[in-house]
Amino acid sequence: MLKRILFLLLILVASFAVNPTVKAQCSMCTINAEQGTKNGNTQGKGLNNGIIYLLAIPYLLITGIGLLWYRNYRKKTNTTLVNANQS
């Protein structure tokens, strides 16, 4: 159990260590997209569409998991009520 906790802690620390590099890349993309749009390029539209696609997947997954959880919870509640009424 202690090894598992230490492993998860190591992964958490490593993910925080990588974070500043990721932020630097995002600001570079933002500057390039702004400059490209000012010069008449349409690459910014493609970048925005890519961001929308990347953000849509986690939201769809969380929504699906939430709906499954709600359906199972509701089914369990209905089964409990039916069993209580039969007693």
- The DSSP line for 29-43 is HHHHHHHHHHTT--H
Residue 7 in tokens = 């492993």
Question: What is the predicted pLDDT for the residue at 27?
Answer: 73
Closest listed residue to residue 34, CA positions, set 42, 44, 25, 26: 44
**Burial track 12-26 (b if 16+ CB lie within 10 A, e otherwise):** eeeeeeeeeeeeeee
pLDDT over 90 (residue 80): no
Confidence of residue 69 (pLDDT cuts 50, 70, 90): very high
**pTM beyond 0.75, yes or no:** no
Instruction: Indicate the length of the chain as a whole number.
Output: 87
Residue 27 in tokens = 């600001």
Question: What is the predicted pLDDT for the residue at 62?
Answer: 95
pLDDT over 90 (residue 48): no
Q: Say which residue, 50 or 61, is predicted with more confidence.
A: 61
